[in-house]
Amino acid sequence: MNATHPSSEYPFLDGDALSFRPVGFAQFHRGWVVEVRATDLVPLAASVDSARRLGAKRGYLANSEVNRGLAEMLSNRPADFGFVGQIVLGADAVELVPGPGAFSDRIHVIGPECIEGFQRLRTISDAAGCLPAVNLEQAVLQVAIFCGRERRRARILYDEADRYLNPSTAQDGLVRCPHLRRLMDADWERCSFDPRRGITTGPQGERFTMDEVTRALACLSDRPVPEAANLAATEEGRQALWSRIDSPLYGQLFHEGVTPLGVVRAVDAWNQARETLIALPARLKQGHGHLIRYAPALICWLACRRLPLFSLHEGDYHWDEAISLRLPAATEAAAELLVSRYRALRPGSRQFKPEAPTMGLWLELLEGLPPQPPL
């Protein structure tokens, strides 16, 4: 059984061939799909000019974060290495050569071209000289092989495949968090919750995004240091927080004690404090008052420390009254206190925008601050 096509269209492939005994294979009308041990793929990208010789779209990105991750996976979790991500080859011909016994068939790929997966192939070749052979034996990859017109079609479509991908984000992974899944199934009365959308109150109702929910819970964390609030204050920080759902910082916000009531209270408090800062006169936001513009999360965090954070997710404290009637004044007082400490700590400072959001400054401003009276 074979498929043969002239190689003159691909002169850089003349004379090349790959032969291996597959773990499994199937031939379809468009091409072949085979399972291959990484050991058998080592020769394919072993040479210095392998990218040119295989006609790969890109050369090897040796220092990319993705390739470092692939190399680490091949080293520490070889069985997972080939589980996700397909290698796609073009070929002049694919030949199945039956062996004398069961499970001894070999496949010859004549004139191979790498249409997709060169980074993974090169990772395998580079690892061959430094990893135990068992790692490459345990890594089994799926390889699709196309010849003739299907080969040309595969090349065209894989060249433009990125146009049709929706890149994954850290927020997408939040649906794997057991605490958020429990919240999704909880009773929100007139609201609903989903980590992809946040809190919604009906088709035309108010909506709070997951960004807002995260910033609010970070603001009302009962920990004595505003590290989570500092991280959640920026888009990059929230992505970092969401990407590590097993981290202690993430666990300060989303844990087994989180309730819909507590989430709504946190969002209400955070919004009230933030709106209070927005409404302050512009003259208070000049000079060291730029702290209000560039570090509002710190001020909101300090003001909300005066709420009974231990009862955020349960308890009968009059949260609504405290948030609407007493938190605005507490927020103004926190702003005045922190701005005055900033002025005293860094009297000659003029780099407010880059300096104010830093965790180092926040810790300096809070150092030695006496406990604030409860609301």
- Using the CB atoms, write b or e for 256-286: b if 16+ within 10 Å: eebbbbbbbbbbbbbbbbbebbeebeeeebe
What dihedral angle (degrees, nearest 10) is formed by the CA atoms of 278, 281, 286, 288?
Answer: -70
Confidence band (pLDDT; 50, 70, 90) for 204?
low
Residue 16 CA to residue 293 CA, distance in Å, equals 63
Contact 150, 33 (CB under 8 A): no
What pLDDT, in 10s, does the model give residues 42-87?
999 999 999 999 999 999 998 899 999 999 999 999 999 988 888 9
93: left (phi over 0), alpha (psi -120 to 50) or beta: beta
Interstrand relation of 140-147 and 87-91 (parallel, antiparallel or unpaired): parallel
Q: Is the pLDDT of residue 125 over 60?
A: yes
Lowest-confidence pick of 25-34, 147-156, 228-237, 285-294: 25-34
What is the pLDDT, as a whole number, of residue 219?
97
For the segment 2-20, what is each residue's pLDDT rounded down to a tens digit? 443 333 333 334 447 888 9
Mean of the pLDDT values across residues 287-311? 97
Helix or strand (DSSP H, E) at 214: helix 210-219
- pTM given for the model: 0.79
- The distance in angstroms from the start CA to the end CA of the chain is 82
Q: What pLDDT is stored for residue 102 in this prediction? A: 58
Residue 246, pLDDT score: 94
Residue 14: per-residue pLDDT: 42
Q: What is the mean pLDDT of residues 194-217?
A: 88
Check whether 104 has a pLDDT greater than 90.
no
Asked if pLDDT for residue 347 goes beyond 50, the answer is yes
SS3 (DSSP) at 131: coil
Q: What is the overall mean pLDDT for the chain?
A: 91
pLDDT digits (tens, 9 = 90+) for 324-333: 999 999 999 9
Phi, psi for 315 (deg, rounded to 5): 110, 160
Give tens-digit pLDDT for 161-178.
Answer: 889 888 889 999 999 999
* 222 close to 310: Cβ distance less than 8 angstroms: yes
**pLDDT the model gives residue 99:** 72
Amino acid 1: pLDDT? 40
Whether the pLDDT of residue 27 is over 70: the answer is yes
Local structure of residue 371 (DSSP, 8 states):
P
Of 38, 47, 40, 62, give the one whose Cα is nearest residue 12: 47
Q: What is the distance of C-alpha 178 from the center of its chain? A: 17
Give the mean pLDDT of 196-213. Answer: 86
Residues 266-274, mean pLDDT to the nearest whole number = 97
